[in-house]
Amino acid sequence: MRYTPQPDHAAAVARDPYRLTCGDIAEQSRSSTSQRLVIGVEYALADEPVLRRRVKRMTENRVGRSIYWAMTAACEGQPASYEPGREAVEAVRQGKFLVQPRPEAWNRPDP
């Protein structure tokens, strides 16, 4: 069965990305609407003032992906209703779950 977030919940998350739940993350692979909801939150949280220095050092894309990994870790053992955003932002601010740049070797064709 295809999962699509309830419109009122999606609207609440659009207004406040911290409203994203572990259930939203768990169900994101079931529809493109769910995927876009989670991805939008990654970037919205990457724009938080507390992460500005991190974005300058890493790029917004890497910080957003780092937030995603921090949220998935924060959701381990939590109920579907748990909202992992604040925990994830703080973890990334502290330097945890950081997505690293690709090694230069990845930029070359295979021999």
Are the CB atoms for 74 and 84 separated by under 8 Å? yes
What residues have CB less than 8 Å from 4, skipping those under 6 apart?
31, 33, 34
Whole-structure pTM value: 0.86
Residue listed under structure tokens 């703080």: 90
Residue 48 binned pLDDT confidence (cut-offs 50, 70, 90):
very high
Which two three-digit tokens encode residue 2?
């295809």
Q: What is the pLDDT of residues 71-92, one digit of tens each?
A: 999 999 999 999 999 999 999 9
